[in-house]
Amino acid sequence: MFPLSLHNYFEILALTCSIIFWKNIRNTPLQWFVPYLIFIVIVEFIGRYMRTELKVTNAWLYNISVPLEYFFYVFIFFSFFKNKINQWLAVGFFVLFGIYVIVFLSINGIAKFNRNVLIIGSFSLIVFSILCLIELYNLPGIINLSKHPVFWIAVGVLLFSAGEFSYDLMTKFFFANRMDKGAIIFRSINSYLNLLLYLCISISFIWKKDSVT
């Protein structure tokens, strides 16, 4: 169980920052990161314990948590969007992606991890994070984007999703050619991408701005 993976410490760092700098995100959509990060840390601890100590599959756990992660980040972007088209795209994602996840789990069960969720979810987050950055760029007046908390969240989500999406597209090729036995490459890539994501999220809590809505 211990020592933890490096990305686990960054998840804990992000949670700690969300609590310490609560005053910076209080009464904004970013306040929901506190329960979300608690959920993520708990899931990671349970998943790690199941894999390393109990030696049992934890696929069912991530079949539940991974879709919820995508829903959460799209919710954060939706809360920031002012453009009506972007808002409707987000609503469409909630409905269509939710239907897909429910149908897949109903037909195939929860024991086998659905990698298509990663492909669809990561691609969607690439789109929404880019739309968010475009809206930030078009905000009236002159602002320092690096001082806007949502900027760091969008950048972190974009980098994480782009890396994950690229790997997921190549998964069948890697597995067919026995280039990633035991998904070692995937875990390594995912771990470093998580470092970037949670570091950016931590920065977003530290950077103070009068309004992040």
> Which tens digits make up the pLDDT trace of 19-42?
999 998 999 999 999 999 999 999
Q: Residue 177: what pLDDT?
A: 61
Q: Is residue 30 part of a domain?
A: yes
Q: Is residue 19 part of a domain?
A: no
For tokens 């211990």, the residue is: 2
For residue 211, is it within any domain? no
Per mean pLDDT, which range of 56-65, 72-81, 153-162, 190-199 is the poorest?
A: 190-199
Residue 1: inside a domain: no
Q: What percent of the chain has pLDDT over 90?
A: 64
- 2: pLDDT confidence band, cut at 50, 70 and 90? low
Count of domains in the chain? 1
- Cβ–Cβ under 8 Å, residues 193 and 109: no
Closest CA to 68 of 105, 16, 15: 105
Is 50 exceeded by the pLDDT of residue 210?
Answer: no
pTM score over 0.85? yes
Q: Is the residue at 150 inside a domain? A: yes
Give, as one character, the DSSP assignment of residue 183: G
- pLDDT value at residue 72: 98
Q: What's the whole-number average pLDDT of the chain?
A: 88
- DSSP designation for 147: G
Domain that holds residue 196: 6-13+25-206
- Helices marked H in 81-183 — which ranges? 84-108, 115-137, 149-176
